Every structure is written in structure tokens, then in C-alpha cells.
Structure 1
Amino acid sequence: MHQKRKGLVLDSNGLFLFYSFIITLVLIAVWVVWLWNDKTLRKKYPGAKFLSQDQINEFKECFSLYDKNHKGKIRAADLLAVMRCLGVSPTPAEAQRHLHLHKIERNAELDFSTFLNIMYRQMKQEEPEKEILTALAMIDREKRGLISAAELRAKLTRLGEKLSEEEVDDLLKEAKIGPNGTIKYEEFTRTICLPAVDY
């Protein structure tokens, strides 16, 4: 004797609705997990608050390559290499200054949160630096990396947001003016773009 099975029988419309419902639940679950991870990541790494999720992921991936012992830390000596791998261009002195600012010795280690803060600081420093370099390169007609201090003074006091003579004097104190009255503008730009140290 055959027993008839009792249960739900779905036609093609019913299957479509059922699968749509399942897909919707999965998408909601993925969104909730992403949102939770995003908030958790930002709580865990305070330096992340100014960075996009894509930037954090990229930084984490590169950081992990240098985290040889899988402790969530890199050697301070590797900081310059990791930063340059991520497209910023600190000098060795700038990398050392970042370490000093966070009270990290050259032979010590730094965690990912500290690294995010350092990367953010370096990126903010390099933004105006590029604009200033572009403007100064336009003055450098011979493309030697040098500009005349007198010409720079004239541009700063007559164009754009005009500076006073005193402001230009203060600015030029930061410049290493050569014996022929010229300034290496890349070095000068780096100096004036150093972020203020927070104490």
C-alpha cells in the first residue's frame, strides 16, 4: 500500500519566492556582519576613524606581510619599507620622527593601530606637499630643483593669499638658502609641510 506524503509542494512561482527570501536573508546577514566588523575594527584601531575600509584592508594586508611572527606587530625598523609599499614616500628621518612621536625605539615593535595613525599622518602631510611642489616646479624654468629666494618672496607677497613680509621671513627661516640665493624646493617643501607635533 502507498502512503501519500504530506508536505509543502511549491510551483515555480513558489520556488522563486522561496529562493528570493533565502537570498534576502543571506544579504542581510552579510550586511550585518560587515557593519559589525566595520564598527569593531574602528573601535579596535582608533587610527582607523579617518580612513576608508578599503584603505584599512590594504594597510592590514601589507602590514601582515611584515608581521613575521604573527603577533600583530611589525619591527620599527621595517616601518619605512611598509609605508613605501603602500605608496607614501617618507624619508628615513620622517619615519624616525613618527616612531619618536609614538615613543617607539628603532629596535622595538609597533602594532597595527599605531601604524594606522602613522599612515594617516604621513598621508595628510603629503597632500599639501604635492600641491606646493607642483606650484614651485612651475617657477623652476630650468627644472634643476632650485628656485631663487627672491623670486619665491615676490610670489608669496604678490600672488594668491598674499603673505606679509614678516610671514615670508618666518617661512624662509625654514629654508636652507644656498650661497647663490637659491633654495632646494623639494627639501624646503618637506620642511614646511611637517605636521605639528601634538603633546
Structure 2
Amino acid sequence: MAKFLSGTQINEFKECFSLYDKKRKGKIEAKDLITVMRCLGTSPTFGEIDRHLQVHKIEKKGELDFSTFLTMMHRQIQQEDPKAEILEAMRMTDKQKKGYILASELRAKLTKLGEKLTDKEVDELFREANVKSNGNVHYEEFTRMVTLPSVDY
């Protein structure tokens, strides 16, 4: 697994994993898997967690070691593509296939569906992506802007 993940990633994963290793036996409870994975920036669904556990023959009330966790994290990272997910969601909203949606429509979805954002968070997102609140959001451009790597200072 080390050949697929960087040393920095492995160290970060180990640190978070250790926080949930309550018995200090090098294992976490399967019920904590979704929380640990989300803390590390992935977005697994409950169905995906169930599949990870099934692949490794781990009961929902069982435990998993760090090596198994690394394999699960690698698979989760490989299957997630935030750019594709955002584009797909925006295309589903664009019934006439115009290539854009109204900013007001996007705001409504961001504040009412899924992991709801506050109006202030949407304002910040729109500002960073150069979206005018009364305009159109061209989803290809918007997706590119919001998925640019952030600069570490």
C-alpha cells in the first residue's frame, strides 16, 4: 500500500486512526470507520462503508487493523472524483442542457440539500468562484474554480 500512498498521507492516516484506537491494540471499531474516513477528507456513503467491510469480511460490530484501513482508504480515494460528482449534480439540475444554472438555484440547493451550507458560506464560495448572485453559473467553469488545489501558506 505504501507505493500508492505518500508517507505524509500514511502518517496523517495513522494519527487519525490512533485517535479512534480506544483500546490501544492497533485496531478501530468498524462502526467508527465512516467517521475516521470523513475526518481524513473522503466522503464515503454508508453503502460504500458496508462494501469495504464486506470485501474484508469484517462484521459491522468487528474491528479492523491499520493495514486494512489503509487499503480501504486507498480504494475510497480512488473511487472519489469531486469534480465529476459536482458536474453530475449540476447537469442534473440543468434540465434544458444549457451549460449553466441560475446562481439563485445553486444557492437554494447548497443551503437546503446534502451537507447544507449557510448563506455566508455560499457567499464566500460565490466570491471565490467569481459568481454574481444574480447571474448564471456556468458549471464547467464553476467546477474548475471550486476544485482547484488550495494553496498552503
TM-score range, shorter chain: 0.5 to 0.7
Whole-angstrom distance in 2 between the partners of 1:73 and 1:133? 32
Q: Give unpaired runs (5+ residues) of structure 2.
A: 95-100, 110-153
1:103 corresponds, among 53, 57, 68, to 57
TM-score normalised to structure 2 length: 0.58
Whole-angstrom distance in 1 between the partners of 2:32 and 2:85? 28
Whole-angstrom distance in 2 between the partners of 1:135 and 1:65? 35
Whole-angstrom distance in 1 between the partners of 2:11 and 2:3? 13
C-alpha deviation, 1:113, in angstroms: 0.3
Q: Give unpaired runs (5+ residues) of structure 1.
A: 1-46, 146-199
2:12 corresponds, among 58, 74, 94, to 58
1:126 corresponds, among 59, 63, 80, to 80
C-alpha deviation, 1:53, in angstroms: 0.2
Aligned to 1:79: 33
Aligned to 1:178: none
Deviations 1:63-95 (A, max 9, x none): 000001111100111101100110101011111
Distance 1:138 1:96, change over 3 A: closer
Distance 1:52 1:138, change over 3 A: same
For residue 64 of structure 2, give the secondary structure of its aligned residue in structure 1: strand
C-alpha deviation, 1:96, in angstroms: 1.1
Whole-angstrom distance in 2 between the partners of 1:108 and 1:54? 28
Whole-angstrom distance in 2 between the partners of 1:124 and 1:101? 16
May I ask how many residue pairs the two structures share in their alignment? 97
For residue 59 of structure 2, give the secondary structure of its aligned residue in structure 1: coil
C-alpha deviation, 1:137, in angstroms: 4.3
Indicate if the aligned counterparts of 1:48 and 1:113 stay in contact, CA closer than 8 A: no
1:117 and 2:107 correspond: no
Indicate if the aligned counterparts of 1:64 and 1:72 stay in contact, CA closer than 8 A: yes
Amino acid at match of 2:68: T
* Identical-residue share of aligned pairs (%): 62
Answer 1 or 2: which has greater helix percent. 1
After superposition, residues 157-168 of structure 1 pair within 5 angstroms as none
Whole-angstrom distance in 2 between the partners of 1:79 and 1:125? 17
Whole-angstrom distance in 2 between the partners of 1:136 and 1:59? 29
Following TM superposition, the consecutive aligned residue runs of length 4 or more in structure 1 with deviations greater than 2 angstroms are: 133-145
Which of 1 and 2 has higher RCO (CA within 8 Å, sep 6+)? 2
Indicate if the aligned counterparts of 1:76 and 1:104 stay in contact, CA closer than 8 A: yes
Aligned to 1:135: 87
